[in-house]
Amino acid sequence: MGTGQRVLVFGAYGHTGRFVVAELRDRGFVPVLSGRDADRLRDLAASHEGLEVRPATVDDADALDRALAGAAAVINAAGPFATTAAPLIEAALRAGIPYVDVAAEIEANVDTFARYADRARAEGAVIVPAMAFYGGLGDLLATAALGDWTAADEVHIAYGLSSWHPTAGTRTAGAVSRERRDSRRVLYTDGRLEYRDDQAPTLKWDFPDPMGTRSVIGEFTMADAVTITSHLPVPEVRGYMTVEAVRDLAAADTPAPAPVDDSGRSAQTFLLDVVVRSGAEERRAVARGQDIYAVSAPLAVEAVERILTGRTRATGVASAGELFDADDFLRALSPHISFELL
């Protein structure tokens, strides 16, 4: 548990940022609230007695340096990460503290690995992109499923979402990604990302009980294709998303997630089913839980806690599966997810 260490949360008043702030407090850390909107930061601070507000914008390096002063780590919860990640990483490197974000944007995560891998490793820094439901959780499950295998031929990630009510941040980040890829879809095949103009296939996926067989959009690639392949030699990573969730995401009138409990979680449930194949052999890891945005908070905060207590396996830019003991990390999240190897 945290020992009163300060952790800056950039984008603290956003949907995911609020979950991060609450999770930090629950674990004994002291969140420092930051972001560009000073009024929204003060409103958030009014509901969390004793928290400091440090407004900053990503185009003001001095303000970022002041915001990070005295912090033990920074969690970036403010998208689009194509805009916010690099300035926050630079500020974290200047401050000599670890950086963690919850980016689901494929291109932004590729940028982070490409731009900072050598520099961060040389400086002994720790930078963890995509430490969230998309990117972090799938990578941990794939790494845990891999077990004693050193490589695999394929990783299949099936997202069994009961619904998907996107936040305003998700819609904004999605628009940025679509613009960067000229509205093409993405596929990780033959060891690299490919961009395609054709329609993604609709398939059937046999989820574990109680979900069972569902229609899914095949080749639905998310940040896991970046995180997994950053440290595991896997030439094929395929994603699948339940059609109901895809329809929700695509519809302009789908409302933002609404809270149904005291923690602020929505009614959305998920079953993340990861299958790893090597030749004729197959291994499987499954995680179940509620609210993909809410569960991103314990993922990010658990990462920060482990970094600050020295429970890491690498330095530089590293994904969750490379940096942490995947099986142990997943079991530590038992209050938030159920995890099993099948």
| Cβ neighbours for 251, distance < 8 A, ≥ 6 positions apart | none
- DSSP letter for each residue of 71-96: -SEEEE--S-HHHHHHHHHHHHHHHT
CA–CA gap between residue 220 and residue 171 (Å, rounded)? 17
Give the per-residue pLDDT at 220.
Answer: 97
What mean pLDDT is predicted for residues 3-11? 95
**pLDDT tens-digit series, residues 299-323:** 999 999 999 999 999 999 999 999 9
Query: Does pLDDT of 86 surpass 90?
Result: yes
pLDDT of residue 88: 98
Q: Rounded to 10 degrees, what is the CA torsion of 80, 31, 58, 115?
A: -70
Across the chain, mean pLDDT equals 97
- 35-39, 47-51, 228-232, 257-261: the lowest-pLDDT one: 47-51
For residue range 133-148, list pLDDT tens digits in order. Answer: 999 999 999 999 999 9
Q: Is the pLDDT of residue 3 over 90?
A: no
pLDDT digits (tens, 9 = 90+) for 163-175: 999 999 999 999 9
What's the whole-number mean pLDDT along residues 242-264? 97
- pLDDT category of residue 210 using cuts at 50, 70 and 90: confident
Percent of the chain predicted with pLDDT > 70 = 99
Residue 2 has pLDDT above 80, yes or no: no
